[in-house]
Amino acid sequence: MAEAYPKEKFDQYIARFNAEDHTAFEDFLHPQMHMMNGTLEYTGIEGMIHHYKVNIWPDFKEVLYVPRFVSDDKHIAIHMNTHFEARHDKEDSLFGPVKKGETFDFNGLIMYDLEDGLFKDIQVAYNSFVFTDVDGNKKDLGLPH
């Protein structure tokens, strides 16, 4: 029986992601990676790099937290909490108009299928996606994509 994907290695990926290090995608994603995140779907490492370098990181500080990790040699399943904070006012962000300091919090599950130790297929499932305005008012948005 093959060994499970090591949590320590996955933690390295999360740390590099949180540091906005797009080279983590090159090191951890399969060249034909497929991502499905609600209605947002893209393929390949370049798709992932573009999504974060163009659509997310310029406008939001995104921090991932992984309270639960389960793996075998072909799959990883995690419980993921993600916190987005708007870096500045913007009328046309990925999440619509935002003001500096507004936040979005994702709570959900993510399944990774592995090939050659790399993330080949990534499926994101939502439990909640909550917007908090600068006054602290919260609203569950459902699916953001």
**What is the pLDDT confidence band of residue 145, given thresholds at 50, 70 and 90?**
low
Residue 77 host element (H or E): strand 75-86
> Which residues have CB under 8 Å from 138's CB, separation 6+?
130, 131, 132
- pLDDT at residue 143, as a whole number: 67
Helix (H, G, I), strand (E, B) or coil at 92: strand
pLDDT at 39: 85
Radius of gyration of the chain (CA): 15
Please give the average per-residue pLDDT across 80-104, as a whole number: 96
Percent of the chain's residues with pLDDT above 70: 97
Q: For strand 29-37 and strand 118-132, is the pairing parallel, antiparallel, or unpaired?
A: parallel
User: Nearest CA to 129 among 82, 94, 91?
Assistant: 82
Number of H helices, E strands in the chain: 3, 9
Q: What is the pLDDT of residues 126-143, one digit of tens each?
A: 999 999 999 999 999 876
